[in-house]
Amino acid sequence: MQHFDVQVIGAGIVGKSLALSLSRLGLSVALRGTTAATARDDVRAYALNAASVDLLQRLKVWDTLGAGATTPVHDMVVRGDSSSGQVEFSSWEQRVGTLAVITDAGALERELDTALGFAPHVTRVDVDVAATLVAHCEGRGAASSLHALDAGFERSDYGQKAIAARLVSTLPHRQVARQWFRSPDVLALLPFDRPEAGHSYALVWSLPTERAEVLLAMAPAAFEAELVAAAGIEFGALRLGSERAAWPLVVGGAATWCGPGWVLVGDAAHLVHPLAGQGLNLGLADVVALSTVIADREAWRGVGDERLLRRYVRQRAAPTWAMTRITDGLLRLFAEPSAPIRELRNNGMSIVNRVAPLKRWLTARALDS
């Protein structure tokens, strides 16, 4: 039986990116798992930061994504639940090229599959194989493997679902992303060029599960009316440009990210609420950190050496912890119904809006998670 340097379990975006990245170091990689048919037609579009785009460019999957698969965001408006609470971010003011690039999830999955077909050291397998290092990239499905590893994964359910879909508006999006903290739901419209260039949005609407179920069961016209009522009429008429899909929302993380011969990467290590659009960015930053640590290892050190893997964990633990706390804290702050807290959070937003260095700091954190 062939022995591999690394077995990557889980062929999501993180697992596939890790397999490609390690193969570029000359390591032999077994990638276990197939791309689900649902992933290839995923209605989500991810807000990717500059660091993620840089990795995907180096893996040679970015420039081939195709027309309309990526849309740059130049401005972002975040609104609270009163007319005074608003924060505006602009790429010009922040002195960055773009705030994020909205990226077609299905197109990225397909492009990674194509690249893997040409990767010289990657073998796709459907059973466990012998390997010096096992990288767990099973996403939120990792619970069973992690139980065996005793990684101490804790998760708690938000009692919410995120509804995602593509939308088409009668008015142009002008590359502006918009988000409303509506207490208790969080609504995001991300500018996108599919299905209609210049007029589409990727919707992410996080709501209490019961309300989400009601919205999912509605006929398209009734759902569209609810959406216009939530977003306001300034977007013109909004219509669905795809099916709706929904994900239950959880927050969680593993207490232990590595051990002798194993390591956790991406959602297998940490789960965050999608309100900041950072889950995949964190996972791709894990890929960069793990690949770099492996590339820079001493000549005598094996890839499964726990001391080596701990270097990766040390790099990733703090930013992941911070992002989890920020997203969780924001969600809880805006779920609080009392009037004084409401006033406080909306005043807080207008203060942030006026303090340019604070906005720059927040943008820098989001661009490089």
Ligand X SMILES: Cc1cc2nc3c(=O)[nH]c(=O)nc-3n(C[C@H](O)[C@H](O)[C@H](O)COP(=O)(O)OP(=O)(O)OC[C@H]3O[C@@H](n4cnc5c(N)ncnc54)[C@H](O)[C@@H]3O)c2cc1C
What residue ranges bind ligand X (CB under 6 A)? 9-15, 32-33, 36, 44, 46-47, 137-141, 162, 164, 204, 247, 266-267, 274, 277-281, 283
Least distance (Å) between residue 369 CB and ligand X: 8
Say which residue the tokens 């609407």 belong to.
205
Cα–Cα distances (Å) from 257 to 71, 144, 241, 350, in that order, read: 34, 15, 40, 38
How far apart CA 71 and CA 56 sit, in angstroms, is 15
Q: Quick one: 87 or 280, whose CB is closer to ligand X?
A: 280
Q: How far is the CB of 18 from ligand X (least distance, A)?
A: 9
Q: How far is the CB of 241 from ligand X (least distance, A)?
A: 16
On the CB side of 340, how many CA atoms lie within 13 Å of its CA? Answer: 0
User: The tokens of 310 are what?
Assistant: 């701990």
As a whole number of angstroms, the distance between CA 230 and CA 212 comes to 14
> Could you write out the DSSP letters of every residue in 226-261?
HHHHHH-GGG--EEE-S--EEEEEEEEEES--EETT
Least Å distance between CB 272 and ligand X?
7
**To the nearest whole angstrom, how small is the minimum distance from the Cβ of residue 1 to ligand X?**
19
Sequence-distant (6+) residues with CB within 8 A of 48 are: 56, 100, 101, 102, 103, 280, 281, 284
Q: Quick one: 208 or 348, whose CB is closer to ligand X?
A: 208
Nearer to ligand X, 127 or 318 (CB): 127
Choose among 297, 326, 309: nearest CA to 260: 309
CB nearer to ligand X: pick between 116 and 204: 204
Indicate the residue among 307 and 325 with the shorter CB distance to ligand X: 325
- Name which of 72 and 141 has its Cβ closer to ligand X: 141
Nearest residue to 68 via CA among 231, 197, 171 = 197
To ligand X, the closest distance from the beta carbon of 192 in angstroms equals 11
